[in-house]
Structure 1
Amino acid sequence: MDFMSKVLSATDVLHVDITKVKVKGVLNERAKKGKVQGILPYGYYRDENEMMAVNPEEAEIVKLIYDLYLKGWGYRRIAEHLEDEQVLTRYNKFDGNVTYKHPDGREITKAKKDMTWNHSNIRNILHNKVYIGERSWGGIQQPCPAIIDTDVFNRIKYKIDIRQKKSGKRSDHRYILNDVCKCGRCGNRFTGRKSGKYRHYRCTSVLTRGNKCGNSYFDADALNTFIWQRFFLSYNLYDLVKEHLKNNGTSDKVDKLNLEVKKLEKSVSSLQKERQNAIQLTIKGILSENDVAGELQRIDTGIQDTSIKLKNLTEQLQSYANSTDNLKNIKSDFVSNKDKVSFNEQQELILKYIERITIDYENPFFKTTIKFTIPDMESEVYYIDRSYRLAFYIIHDQIIAWNFTGVENINIRRFRKLVKEIESITGYIFDE
């Protein structure tokens, strides 16, 4: 790009920035007058005066949702009822597509006519204070017509809080890994659930009407036992952390990163001040756009380059912030009698050292990948047989079998069959 092109490009950027300043002011003035902008919540529409008004048809659906929840219906049951009654969502009334992010980070595009009611829609409606006449935009309060009485809204909030508290009490001693388990197929959460007398972890995709990933359930007691015994009672995790920190000390890295981050933050701050001054001088008419275009282009390039470097360094620093080189402190987490600790103590230890457990069933094994919170530490991969007796893993290019504590009398024929299966899957040889 030649000099003139750069100048023209910088001029365009300046136009955009000046326009943003003016547009923000206009939007704030509109908000103060009660005029609305953006997509309105379900149950409302924008009238001819650009004010928020109640959509009578949709308002009845909102009232129905609140009424059903007060009767004891859950989010999903209400959503399924609306689908069964063929109640249109807001998007169903329009053509085109809508794009949103899946929990695993993927972007998903759907036709608006195919959008369905789901538990998130229902939850958002039950939590939104706009339905009792409270709305704000950019920090500016905007009175709006209410659809639900404040008393009803507060009763709903109370019921939701009670349900959440009861739910936590039911599952605490059962599903200690709820916060770290992920599905290895679709990226959804892998959460605890009771079915009859059985308790298991399963992918939350099973709760949807379609798009179930097909991953298998994992016995909750078996997974809890494996993680706790393998990494905490056996000191295996301590040994792994010790070896990792021995070979990858982080203190020097953190000090260097901190210095670099401070330098870059100072540089970005200085460039941003220069940029703001240039824009203000142009808005006031002291300088012409041509006068500042070249300088603005230089500043923008500097901000962009420096911000990228700062982001990368900050991410590195954050990853190291949760680790420590003090092996004595790490060891103190493993010296007490860990088979008698409380649920909260177990969960605190697990969350401290385990970032994520990914589960994917590959018949006849659950491929279980454990990612640790220690920066740069390699994940551990285990193949747990579906009878929950053996866990195979690879070390030094050889397959090792780990026996669950207390499990005896492993069938030799089945054991040999499992060995052949794991050798076929991994390409490694079992260590006799």
Structure 2
Amino acid sequence: MTVRAVGYSRLSKEDLNKIYDDSESIKNQNNLISEYVDKQGWILQEIYSDDDFKGSDRNRPDFNRMLSDAYQNKFDVIVCKNQSRFARDIELIEKYIHGKFIEGNIRFVAIQDNIDTANMNSASKKISQLHGLTDTWYLEDLSGNISNVFDTKRKKGEYIASWALYGYLKNPENKNELIIDPVASEIVKLIFKWYIEGRGLQKIANLLNQRNIPNPLKYKKDMGMKIGAKSRITSKSYLWRGDTIGRMLENQMYMGHMVQGRLKKVSYKSKKIVSVPKDHWIIVKNTHPAIIDRETWDTVQNIRKTKVKPRRDGIVNMFNGKLRCLECSELMYAITYPKQLHGIKSKTEFNTIFRCSKKMIQSNACVSTGISMNLLELHVLSELKKFSEIYFDEKSIETQLTITDGRFENLTRLQSDKERLNKQISEGNHAIATLYMDKVRGLISEKQFSQINTQILMEIKSSEEALKQVEKELEGISFNMFQKINLSEIIERYREINKLNRNIILDLIDVIYIGRKDEKTGKRIIKILWNF
């Protein structure tokens, strides 16, 4: 009777970590399988082969093709160098080798493990199961070890992603370091600039598309980089979108801070990726050149917090998010309508009034009245002029900009503490990696490893909590100093203004309260809270 045999070979990076020669190579596995089949006098029909696939991966192309052919009874025997080539997953071992193959009368042979289901008894089955468990444990340990190494790199501020963030390039001399991309970085700056000027997310996306500026995916493709599964890419994939702009505006990486660990795999067995809570992200400050300065970043984040909506033309009203009703403290919304030109509604010119959002829902819910944008702008300019005459005294400015030596001393102390705590965390992570290798080599027991590992982790956690507090204090001091130093620049910039825009409003004004007309004076009550 002719026996129809097939072989299966597999190699992945997990195997390269275990070996020191090419004995596990696809070529050598195939030679071993061919020699074995020939000695048995069987007919070798085909060798299925998956290169660069994990043994726990259930989506291996040739592996699944082999299973499909097995169900169609195209062969009688499957031969592998060893069982781990077939799978490093006890669930797959049990399902197929000890289940489906036996039911379908398919014989399985693992040459070096001396596993042959044609001669399997209770003892040999346990050996097969033990191999499966050992391989599963190995993958779990390997996955955990790799995760620890990656986290150590992240905490050192080393960039470990496959591709650089849009706006940056990987340093040719150090792949874990980012340098500014002179082309894409200018687009990043333009996006932040447009947003501050009052353009909405989709408006910015539309402008970029109209100018035929490649989006991050298209730019990556044009640079000759690998862009992932092409089957999922459509013509729309190369267009800028509002949500892409939104993510860029909130990415601290553009301030020169390394932000990693935002996503993670559910398990080493799964390709599913989930989001990590923000307080668990790994953020290391000042690791690479900044594209966006602190002032621009803060301005954008303040706008983002207000969650203002753009007008129909995609432009955000300069007062949006800054107006509140003095009567009920609710936000006031802009209502825009076309101007009447010779009895015809204009398509390009608009009038704008602001109304209490509460009153818009129910007319008698608030006693406030609306205000036109023109009247409000004139009032703000008038108040700003009065404010300048009183406040912008040169001696007063000099006094306000004085920063005591004590603040600098405090800043120096906190920077020193930050450096010390980062060093402690790095040393702790290195100690865990060394400890793990000692356990693998059998130099310490599992119990000793667990006890020492727990102690080190507690020390790392304590240092990380202390580091968070230091960084919070450091950021507060740095920001306050920054605010004071830059106050003179703001003063000089807006001293002689005669027309308002979104940038000026964001720089100078915290909130404007709009009230009713004063019964005695007949003037509108408007209270401005400045950012000073």
**TM-score calculated relative to the size of structure 1:** 0.37
Which one has a bigger Cα radius of gyration?
A: 2
**TM-score calculated relative to the size of structure 2:** 0.31
